[in-house]
Chain A
Amino acid sequence: MTRDKTAGSISLAVLVVLLALSIIVIGAASIVTMSTGQVKRIESRDAQVDRLRDAAVAVTNAVAADPTPEAQAQVDPFYQQLRDLSEELKLDITLDDLSGRLGVNWVRKELLDGLGLLLEDKAPDEFQQHREDIGFRLDIARSYGEFFDEKTLAELFTPHSYWNLNISDEFTLEGLCALRTGDAAEAEEFRSRIQELRIKDTLLTSRDLAGFLGDQHEQLAPVLTVEAPLNINYVDEILLNGLFRYFEAPASVAERIRSVREKSELTDEWLHGALKGIDYNKLLLQYVGVKSWFWKMTIEDSDIRLEWILCRTLGRDEEAEGMEIRLIQESLSRVSP
């Protein structure tokens, strides 16, 4: 009857204090664990990315050290070096030569019409107007998806291509000049000078280019050239046949190119010889050459994908200085499981 009502209250208080302390300790410990976990995760991710970048640098150096810088082809030794590296580092490495594709930012509407690559309900004029309206774009799938089917756009076109003054659409050349010099009036005058060249059927050579560009040379030279943007060693079969058809070159020559390039590197001399005697060979040779200008390199490990876009610097004395390959774009993404 006289039982002490406070009996056991000390134990209860101790339990409550212990519980509160435990909650605080667990809370703080989980924050510390989470934080150190994240630090470790980021450190390990950085190490992974560094490993991929080191591999990318090795591949880039191998391409730049091509023993035949005057021509690039599937048989070049850097592809073997790439495969060896891939095996050694247990990485998935691919190198796409983008010089087998047409530059969507410069291609002439007449050629597009001739190649029959546009969707049936799209007219070449519409394409040209659309390009003028939106300007040059990197994301071609989003910007030009309405004009081509997905596969055609992905496999035959690229935004990574230099402008060849002799064959690029003159409005795109005006746009390029305006973009790089910031002077719209100067750009318009530049276009009319190009139109004059075309009326006279004059094709500029690399020796004429600097003189023709004058004051604009410094601004335009990094992206404007008179070198062929396509490398015959990589040009897709559809594009190769289309170009030969458009320039009225015999299909048998295209067939010969296809069979020879499977086994060896087509050189400039070989190409000129193969196209000799063809009416429009000079113009066709403005489109197709044997040099590569842009590459897309993809390197993957189990969960990270590194993508590099590389370009070959224009206007360089490659015989004396060698080829210069520059990184112009890098992206990292997660590999989907």
Chain B
Amino acid sequence: MRAKSVLRMTGRSEDGFTFVEIIASILILSIIGFLIWQGSSIAARMLFKSSDRSIATLSRLQLDEALRRETGNILIPFWISRVEIETSHNRIRIPYYQGDPDDHLVIEVIGDSLTITAPGRDEYVHFGPFPGISAAPARDTEGNPIGINLKYASSRTADARSEILYRFGSFPLWSADDSG
């Protein structure tokens, strides 16, 4: 009641804003909004990029672990001097899984993905996508198979390629002059 009487007495009213006040407020709010938007958008981009990299790293690590384990299960007996590894259409079929000549480990590249099928398992394991992935039998200087060579584009630069050798779990006595 007292405030109302004061207003009436001075003849001034604070109901509403002037045009300049509104423009100034909009301008300030716009600047603040713009900064917040930019900040959060940069933060979100960084976050997404970082989580994308993490997912890619995670998936490479999973592939690495699975390939290490499964190629380690290839046990070519010491008495073997030659091994037929079938390679056709990006598919590698390796015998001597757990030392059994009839059990094969199958590694297949389909597009940018890689699948691993081990004997005794109903389903294959699928990994990817890894741009430019390729797999081939790795051989020693005498041409004897010693593992699997995997190549794929590095995650940081498209031109760089990573190459990893996954060794079999055994080292046969291939021939008399084999230095091992």
CB within 8 Å of B: which residues of A?
21, 24-25, 27-28, 31-32, 34-36, 38-39, 42, 105, 135-139, 142, 159-160, 176, 179-180, 182, 217-219, 221-223, 309, 311, 313, 315, 326-332
What are the interface flags for B57-69 relative to A under an 8 Å C-beta threshold, 1 for contact and 0 otherwise? 1100100110000
Set of chain A residues within 8 Å of B101, measured between Cβ atoms: 135
Please state if B170 and A329 are interface contacts (CB–CB under 8 Å): yes
Set of chain A residues within 8 Å of B176, measured between Cβ atoms: 217-219, 221-222, 315
Please state if A137 and B99 are interface contacts (CB–CB under 8 Å): yes
Whole-angstrom distance between the Cβ of B101 and the nearest chain A Cβ: 7
Cβ contact of B169, chosen from A21, A24, A35, A331, cutoff 8 A: A331
Set of chain A residues within 8 Å of B44, measured between Cβ atoms: 24
Set of chain B residues within 8 Å of A223, measured between Cβ atoms: 78-79, 173
Please state if B79 and A136 are interface contacts (CB–CB under 8 Å): yes
Please state if B172 and A139 are interface contacts (CB–CB under 8 Å): no
Nearest CB in chain B to that of A138: its residue: B99
Set of chain B residues within 8 Å of A38, measured between Cβ atoms: 57-58, 61
- Tell me which of A160, A222, A315, A326 has the highest count of chain B C-beta atoms within 10 A of its own C-beta: A222
Please state if A159 and B77 are interface contacts (CB–CB under 8 Å): yes
Please state if A136 and B77 are interface contacts (CB–CB under 8 Å): yes
Query: With A and B bound together, what is the CA distance between A42 and B63 in angstroms?
Result: 12
Set of chain B residues within 8 Å of A24, measured between Cβ atoms: 44, 47
Please state if B47 and A28 are interface contacts (CB–CB under 8 Å): yes
Whole-angstrom distance between the Cβ of A54 and the nearest chain B Cβ: 18
Query: With A and B bound together, what is the CA distance between A206 and B44 in angstroms?
Result: 75
Q: Which residues of chain B in 62-105 are interfacial with respect to chain A, using CB atoms and an 8 Å cutoff?
A: 64-65, 72, 75, 77-82, 98-101
CB within 8 Å of A: which residues of B?
40, 44, 47-48, 50-51, 54-55, 57-58, 61, 64-65, 72, 75, 77-82, 98-101, 169-178, 180
Query: With A and B bound together, what is the CA distance between A218 and B142 in angstroms?
Result: 14
Please state if B175 and A219 are interface contacts (CB–CB under 8 Å): yes
Please state if A42 and B65 are interface contacts (CB–CB under 8 Å): yes
Set of chain B residues within 8 Å of A311, measured between Cβ atoms: 78, 173
Cβ contact of B81, chosen from A139, A219, A329, cutoff 8 A: A219
Set of chain A residues within 8 Å of B170, measured between Cβ atoms: 328-330
Set of chain B residues within 8 Å of A139, measured between Cβ atoms: 98-100
Whole-angstrom distance between the Cβ of A329 and the nearest chain B Cβ: 5
Please state if A329 and B58 are interface contacts (CB–CB under 8 Å): no
8 A–B contacts, CB within 8 A, in A order: A31-B51, A31-B54, A105-B79, A136-B77, A180-B81, A219-B175, A309-B78, A329-B171
Set of chain B residues within 8 Å of A25, measured between Cβ atoms: 47
Nearest CB in chain B to that of A37: its residue: B58
Q: A160-B78, A179-B81, A180-B81 are in contact. Are A35 and B57 (CB under 8 A)?
A: yes
Please state if B99 and A179 are interface contacts (CB–CB under 8 Å): no
Given contacts A326-B180, A329-B171, 18 further A-B contacts (CB under 8 A): A31-B51, A31-B54, A31-B55, A32-B50, A35-B54, A35-B58, A35-B61, A36-B54, A42-B64, A142-B100, A160-B78, A179-B80, A180-B79, A218-B175, A219-B176, A221-B176, A329-B169, A330-B170
Whole-angstrom distance between the Cβ of A213 and the nearest chain B Cβ: 10
Set of chain A residues within 8 Å of B180, measured between Cβ atoms: 313, 326
Set of chain B residues within 8 Å of A331, measured between Cβ atoms: 72, 75, 169
Cβ contact of A332, chosen from B47, B72, B75, B100, cutoff 8 A: B72
Query: With A and B bound together, what is the CA distance between A109 and B54 in angstroms?
Result: 60
- Tell me which of B44, B51, B64, B98 has the highest count of chain A C-beta atoms within 10 A of its own C-beta: B51
Query: With A and B bound together, what is the CA distance between A199 and B9 in angstroms?
Result: 139
Nearest CB in chain B to that of A327: its residue: B171
- Interchain residue pairs A-B with the least CB separation, the first 7: A138-B99, A35-B54, A222-B173, A28-B51, A180-B81, A328-B78, A221-B176
Whole-angstrom distance between the Cβ of A185 and the nearest chain B Cβ: 17
Nearest CB in chain A to that of B51: its residue: A28
Nearest CB in chain A to that of B82: its residue: A182
Please state if A28 and B99 are interface contacts (CB–CB under 8 Å): no
Set of chain B residues within 8 Å of A218, measured between Cβ atoms: 175-177
Q: A31-B51, A31-B54, A327-B171 are in contact. Are A39 and B82 (CB under 8 A)?
A: no
Query: With A and B bound together, what is the CA distance between A35 and B82 in angstroms?
Result: 40
Nearest CB in chain B to that of A222: its residue: B173
Nearest CB in chain B to that of A35: its residue: B54
Set of chain A residues within 8 Å of B78, measured between Cβ atoms: 160, 223, 309, 311, 328-329
Set of chain A residues within 8 Å of B47, measured between Cβ atoms: 24-25, 28
Please state if B61 and A32 are interface contacts (CB–CB under 8 Å): no
Nearest CB in chain A to that of B172: its residue: A328
Cβ contact of B50, chosen from A28, A180, A327, cutoff 8 A: A28
Set of chain B residues within 8 Å of A31, measured between Cβ atoms: 51, 54-55, 58
